[in-house]
Structure 1
Amino acid sequence: MNISSHPSALLRTLISAVLLISAVNVTGARAEAARISINWWSTPAWSVDGDVYGWQKQMIAEFEASHPDVEVDLTQLSWADATTKLNTAIMARRFPDLVSGGQPATWALQGILEPVDPYLSDADQADYYPAALQKYTVNGSIYGWPWFTTTYVIYLNLDIFKERGVQPPVNGNWTWDEFVEKARQLTFKGEDGQQVYGFGAIMQPWYYQSFGILLSDGGRLVSEDGKRFMLNTPEGVSGLGKLVDLVQRYKVSPLAMGSVTDADMTKMFTDGHLAMLAQGTFLIRSLEKALQEGNGFNFGIANYPIGQLGRPVSLHEGVGGFVVFKQTNSEKRDAVMEFARFITSPENQKALSNYGVFPSRKSVGNIYPNDEYLAWAQREAVPTLVIPPVAPSWLEADRAIVPFFQLAILGNAPAEQAMRDAETAANRILGK
């Protein structure tokens, strides 16, 4: 039968077609309305084909491909404006969903972050380095997805070691006495009259290059609740005394250790005026490049010397990750958490080799198979990492206590008095 010869049949066909199209449109609209949108604010990462947000875009594409009901919108923050934009958004209560870095302790105490604990299994927590979880733990709950770690090490100018007939520490570990003895042998005046010191590390607010020695005898910075300064103990005073001795007793460190800047101390090392330097692992690639270009020197790396604590320790803020802001919709919260888990997964942490940093998870394995220095640092130094107190008032307290430590190092106050004064200043701030 020819439909065109029966108007009623044609009408029914047209109506059916219209209804079908309408149904498709309604279904599409509902699907679009049900689509979950995640707003990710991120500062630059490493360059991918010239794009410093290329890694983020790659992660988004991979996640969206396996989660068709989710779209991730990337807001690109520069290093210059990130803090201002985040603070403005928080003041306006217009939070992004996911942010890298930030102030997890402050935001958690303000009640604007989602706890991550419900999304972490026991196996997850066991897989993270302790310092990685410590960075995001506030009042017993975890408020972030750790991503990378970094730390401080002791750099060795092996050319100076060889010149002075000094052996570097076996496997990069040494006792305090061994460290001091080597530092004494490495302190001398060159033929040109230039003084070479055995070791250098700065003591400045918010820089922790000296704290691997300060805490080596078991001293602890603050109480569990972050409200009391705890370093004024025999262990803490002993650690400060070691720093004083390096300058005042053994004279293996420059007096400027108590006042010089980070950049100046590093320059002393790269210019050959220090045989050993405490500095971040970021310096490894710079020293490798200089050596390859023919204007560097042979170097090695080691852990901080082992004191009464019985193991090396390095204090560093070097844990980065992602926080999830408060969500009103449980389905969206689950989606944001799933995305955060994805970008920080062991598999995706392997890409951190592009950044010169280290994974926050142990199961990732060695991400630097072709770099002996970075591989050693990941294997031996990262496990020594502890982070500064997460209490929001710690930075202010740190700024208050360091001048007293500097006075002791410069020989202007006994270690015991400096520690008592530091305790008074710190508790005035921490106890607020």
Structure 2
Amino acid sequence: MAGTIAAVSALGMTAVLGGCGITGGSGDVTLKLVAADYGDSAANSSKKYWDKLAEEYEADHPDVRIDVSVYSWNDVDRKVREMVAAGDPPDMAQIGAYADYAAKNQLYKADDLLSIPVQADFVGQLASAGQVKGVQYGMPFAASTRVLFYNKTLFAKAGITPPESWDDLAEDAEALKAEGVKYPYALPLGPEEAQAETLQWMLSGGGGYTDSVDGYGIDSPENIDTFSWLKNDLVGKGLVGPVAPGELNRADAFAAFAKGQVGMLNGHPSLMKIAESKGVKYGMVPMPGKGGPSKSTLGVADWMMAFRANGHRDQVGDFLDFVYSEKNVLAFSREYDLLPVTSSASGTMAASEEDRHLRPFLEELLTSELYPVGKTSWADVSAQVKQQIGKAVAAGGSPSGVLGHLQAAAGRAESAE
């Protein structure tokens, strides 16, 4: 849901609480936290979650005050940038990216803050994605994965079963097209969130954004094969609907699915509520791969980080240990249909009937691959992908040419780090 869950991004709205610095006597400390809003109304604003958490923590720590400002995803990253530029960073920020601040030596290392049990409890892939050159600065706060959603009613009408491989998906799309389905497979490669759909398909073909030594590998043979197949076997055969993939945004694809106009598309947990609210009967299966179910899927995480400028390391670390308790991680994940970032909370969720609707996504988390968010160049590369990748599958487009162009741009961005 953007590399953010919001852009689940995406994984907002706007609500703001005030902020101030040190208060009271020498033993009293106010910790400033800027956080993103995962709610879609005042009723479920993240402000309520943080208010409750702060109240509980302060009750046991009378010498510490937690002062939280909550902003929509449209504003929160910019707000933090402005605070840092003005020389007044918050103690903690829960936002979409950490690498720029880590590269400028502005953040505490996670192991300078968290107790060993808490740091060791992070899901492995998420902890690794929070590292820059082997050191963890980004602490995962919320996670999501993607699965293939399909419309059960349309599939029954076409007499088909959910796909396991690319060939299955193309055959199902042909059958759906024959039944007059508007979007047999919705392929959103538009500028809203093309980097997500792109990575999902790259992984299904055995590729990805990076190579085995963590350099960019956008124009790898695997990725070129994947986009050549998309261009020739899906887009070229009219199986993706009336809107060119490069002009189709994720939000529009989700809305079309909720109207019963889409046979299949990749989705994250929020699509469940969107579909259910419109009465669409849907199923979910792992992303089809080149020769069977994909061995890896897209994972997305949002991040907590702690700035060094104000000191308060011990107080920040103690508060974050509380934030990452199993109870609090589960409460946040359940409120917003997200995946826990800790192994303990993930285990509880996997065993809970209350959370059974999230199991397909939870099962994908352990084999997920995240964007290369530890690279400060990723923001530029992601922006280039959003603008260019749709051309790779367009009529007259060249997958190898477009991916080669993106690889060259990525190399320039990385050399500038």
Question: Per the shorter chain, which TM-score range?
Answer: 0.7 to 0.9
Q: CA deviation at 1:142?
A: 0.9
Conserved? CA contact 2:32–2:91, under 8 Å? yes
Give identity over the alignment, percent.
Answer: 23
Change (3 A) 1:231 1:147: same
Q: What TM-score results when the alignment is normalised by the length of structure 1? A: 0.79
Matched AA of 1:98:
M
Correspondence for 1:320 among 281, 302, 305: 302
1:12-411 to 2 correspondences below 5 Å? 32-44=25-37, 46=39, 52-77=46-71, 79=73, 81-119=75-113, 124=118, 127-168=121-162, 174-190=164-180, 195-205=181-191, 206-207=193-194, 208-222=196-210, 228-248=215-235, 250-254=237-241, 256-291=244-279, 297-307=280-290, 311-316=294-299, 318-327=300-309, 329=311, 332-351=312-331, 352-364=333-345, 365-366=348-349, 369-370=353-354, 372-378=356-362, 380-390=363-373, 391-402=375-386, 404-411=388-395
Matched AA of 2:199:
F
Q: CA deviation at 1:49?
A: 7.0
Change (3 A) 1:102 1:183: closer
Match of 1:230, SS? coil
Change (3 A) 1:68 1:51: same
Q: CA deviation at 1:105?
A: 0.3
Match of 1:306, SS? coil
Conserved? CA contact 2:349–2:355, under 8 Å? no
| Counterpart in the other structure of 1:11 | none
Conserved? CA contact 1:114–1:327, under 8 Å? no
Looking at CA atoms only, which structure, 1 or 2, has the larger radius of gyration? 1
Q: Point out the more displaced range, 135-144 or 202-211.
A: 202-211
Change (3 A) 1:309 1:53: same
Match of 2:360, SS? helix
Conserved? CA contact 2:115–2:321, under 8 Å? no
CA distances 1:387-412 after superposition (whole Å, capped 9, x unpaired): 21222222322333455532231121
Conserved? CA contact 2:166–2:292, under 8 Å? no
CA distance in 2, matches of 1:49, 1:272: 28
Match of 1:366, SS? helix
Conserved? CA contact 1:201–1:279, under 8 Å? no
Q: CA deviation at 1:102?
A: 4.6
Asked if residue 419 in structure 1 is aligned to residue 403 in structure 2, the reply is: yes
Change (3 A) 1:200 1:43: closer
Change (3 A) 1:339 1:48: farther
Q: CA deviation at 1:333?
A: 0.4
Aligned length: 384
CA distance in 2, matches of 1:77, 1:233: 39
Conserved? CA contact 2:187–2:248, under 8 Å? no
Unaligned runs of 5+ in 2: 1-23
Change (3 A) 1:426 1:89: same
CA distance in 2, matches of 1:77, 1:298: 34
Q: CA deviation at 1:302?
A: 1.7
CA distance in 1, matches of 2:44, 2:340: 24
What is the root-mean-square deviation of aligned Cα atoms in Å?
3.0
CA distances 1:168-201 after superposition (whole Å, capped 9, x unpaired): 35xxxx23333333333332243xxxx5443112
